[in-house]
Amino acid sequence: MKFQPEPAHAHTITAYGPGWVALGAERIGQSLILQAGQPWTPWGVNSFEALDAAAFAGLAEKGPELVIFGSGQRLRFPKPAWIRPLVEKRIGLETMDTPAACRTFNILADEGRRVLLALLMEPIG
């Protein structure tokens, strides 16, 4: 689904579909981390089962005020032990399916918030 014809800035999600998102003209099919105003980086998880506290601790180290966790095509919540690093640093967490996470990130980033998007991209099939 394409929902924004012209990106507001270089790091806006311009489209998404099952197993991928687009940043401008670049289509990405792997799990990623995106912070407002910064280039995307790979997030070294490829399944929900591969998530752990270390995956979320890496997000906490980036210093956002809010993490939006896109759990894939369906809504799945991280275990409390996994998000402890965020809680300890008083960083908010919102869990959404990937389409909702993409839309929310664009809105908050456009508002100038220190938001981090962590998208889980699992193989489709």
pLDDT of residue 124: 78
pLDDT of residue 5: 47
H/E segment holding residue 60: helix 53-60
> The whole model's pTM is what?
0.90
CA distance 107 to 77: 22
Return per-residue pLDDT of the chain as tens, 125 residues: 555 444 444 578 999 999 999 999 999 999 999 998 899 999 999 999 999 999 999 999 999 999 999 999 899 999 999 999 999 999 999 999 999 999 999 999 999 999 999 999 988 76
CA distance 100 to 46: 19
CA pseudo-torsion sign 22, 26, 31, 35: negative
